[in-house]
Amino acid sequence: MRSTVFWILSALLLGCSPSSPAQPSPAPVTSPLPTTTEGMLVNETITATAEGEATFSAQSLPEAAGYRWVSVADGFSRPLDLQNAGDGRLFVVEQPGRIWIVENNTRRPDPFLDVQALVNDNDNEQGLLGLAFSPDFQDSGLFFVNYTDEAGDSVVARFSVDDDPNRADSDSRREILRIEQPYTNHNGGGIAFGPDGYLYIATGDGGSRDDPLGNGQRLDTLLGKILRIDVATTDPYAIPADNPFLDNARPEIWAYGLRNPWRFAFDRLRGDLYIADVGQNTWEEIDFWQTQSPSGVNYGWNIREGMHAFTGQEVPGLTDPIAEYDHSQGCSVTGGVVVRDPALPAWQGVYLYGDYCTGTIWGLLLNREGVWLNGVLFHETVFTISAFGEAANGAVYLVDHKGAIFRLERASQG
Q: What is the pLDDT of residue 340?
A: 97
CB burial of residue 102 (10 Å; 0-12, 13-18, 19+)? buried
Lowest mean pLDDT among 94-108, 306-320, 373-387: 306-320
pLDDT category at 55 given cuts 50, 70, 90 is very low
Q: Model pTM? A: 0.88
CATH class of 14-410: mainly beta
CB burial of residue 374 (10 Å; 0-12, 13-18, 19+)? buried
Which helix (H) or strand (E) segment is 414 a member of? none
Q: What is the pLDDT of residue 414?
A: 57
Residue 231 confidence (pLDDT) above 50? yes
What integer is the mean pLDDT of 178-205?
Answer: 97
pLDDT tens-place string over residues 105-129: 999 999 999 999 999 999 999 999 9
CB burial of residue 167 (10 Å; 0-12, 13-18, 19+)? middle
Q: What is the pLDDT of residue 258?
A: 98
Residue 234 confidence (pLDDT) above 60? yes
Cα–Cα distance for residue pair 151/277, rounded to 1 Å: 25
pLDDT category at 230 given cuts 50, 70, 90 is very high
- C-beta of residue 274 within 8 angstroms of C-beta of residue 267: yes
Compute the mean pLDDT over every residue in the chain, rounded to the nearest whole number: 88
Residue 162 confidence (pLDDT) above 90? yes
Cα–Cα distance for residue pair 205/305, rounded to 1 Å: 13
| Domain residue ranges of the chain, discontinuous segments joined by + | 14-410
Mark residue 191 as left, alpha or beta (left: phi above 0; alpha: psi -120 to 50; beta: remaining): beta
| Amino acid letter, residue 78 | R
Close Cβ partners of 233 (under 8 Å, ≥ 6 residues apart): none
